[in-house]
Amino acid sequence: MKRISYFFIITLFLTTGYAGGSNQSTGELVVIDVTKNYPKKELKLQDIVDVEYIPLETTDEFLCPGNLSATISDNFIAIWDIIRQSIILFDRTGKGLKNLNYKGQGPGEYQVVSDIAFDEDNNEMFVVDLVRTQIFVYDLQGKFIRTFKFRDGYNARGIVNFDREGLMCLRLPSGNGPPFFIISKQDGAFKEFIEIPIIKQVSLSVQPNTGNKEMNFMGAIIGPNFKYIPYRDNWLLTDLSSDTVFTYSPDNTMTPFLTRTRPYIP
C-alpha cells in the first residue's frame, strides 16, 4: 500500500510544480510554485515507484465482480463487493483465503461496508458500517469478535491502522469537528483530535442552488481524494481547505511538509 501511495505524492509535485531545491530530508519545508508553467513530461510508473502485479485467484468461491474497493496490508488483500457487500480475503501472493458475507441486521452483521483496516499484530480486521455508524471487528479468519459505535455522532469515511492501540479516522464531510481523529481499537473511545489549519472550509460535495428547497436534492461528490497517505514511518495529512500538507507521526507530532508559494483562497 505504501509503494502505490508514493505515486500520488510524486504526481502532486509534477503537476503543480516544484520550486527549486528544498530538501525534506534536511527538515526544510517544500514549497510549490503554482504561478509557473512547466513543460509536460511523460513518465512511466515503473520509473518512479516499484510496481507489483498480483494475480488474484479466480474460482467459483473467489470471484471478484465489478464495483470493487480494496485494502492492502503487508500480508493480506481485502476486496469488497459494493453491490453484494461480500468481503474476499487473499494473501499477498493472490491466493484466496476466505469469502465472507455478513450483510444483515443480526449480531456481527453489517449493512454497508465503507472501509476496512487490518491489524496483523493483533490478528484483527476492522470493518466500517456506513449505515449503522459503527465498526465490526473480526479476526483474520473471519470470526466475529466485537463491535462498537462511533462516539458523539462522529462517523468516519475511512480508517487506517495507526498504532497498536488506535485507528486513525477520516470524518465524514457532513460531520462537525476536526477532519481527523484517533479512536481506541477496543471500544471506539476518542484518543486524539487532529486539527488542520485552514483558510476557508471547502467541500468536495456539490449541490445546485435552485431557490426551491424541495428541489435541492441533487448533488455530486468529486473524487477520489486521498486524505492521508503513508510516508516512511509517518502519515501525510491533506485537506482541500488547507494550503499545506502535514506529516503526522506516531508520537502525535504534526509538521508542515509542503506548501504553496501563496495561500489558496477558493
DSSP string, 41-79: ----HHHHS-----PPP-SSSS---SSEEEEE-SSEEEE
Q: Average the pLDDT over 90-107 and give the result.
A: 93
At 206, the pLDDT band (50, 70, 90 cuts) reads: low
- What is d(CA 102, CA 108) in angstroms, rounded to the nearest whole number? 7
Query: What letter represents residue 150's amino acid?
Result: F
- What is d(CA 162, CA 154) in angstroms, rounded to the nearest whole number? 18
On whether the CB atoms of residues 16 and 237 are closer than 8 A, the answer is no
Q: Average the pLDDT over 114-133 and give the result.
A: 92
Q: Is the pLDDT of residue 117 over 70?
A: yes
Nearest residue to 250 via CA among 236, 235, 238: 235
What is residue 51's predicted lDDT score, i.e. its pLDDT? 83
Residue 4 corresponds to which cell in the numbers above? 502505490
What is residue 225's predicted lDDT score, i.e. its pLDDT? 56
Tens digit of each residue's pLDDT (9 = 90 or more) over 129-155: 988 889 999 999 999 999 998 877 677
Q: Is the pLDDT of residue 121 over 80?
A: yes
Which of 29-43, 132-146, 229-243 reaches the highest mean pLDDT?
132-146
Spacing of C-alpha 36 from chain mean position: 30
What is residue 66's predicted lDDT score, i.e. its pLDDT? 66
At 78, the pLDDT band (50, 70, 90 cuts) reads: very high
Q: Does 254 or 213 have the greater pLDDT score?
A: 254
Exposed / middle / buried, residue 121 (Cβ in 10 Å: 0-12, 13-18, 19+): exposed
Q: Is the pLDDT of residue 10 over 50?
A: no
- What is d(CA 84, CA 8) in angstroms, rounded to the nearest whole number? 30
Residue 60 corresponds to which cell in the numbers above? 467459483
Q: Is the pLDDT of residue 6 over 50?
A: no
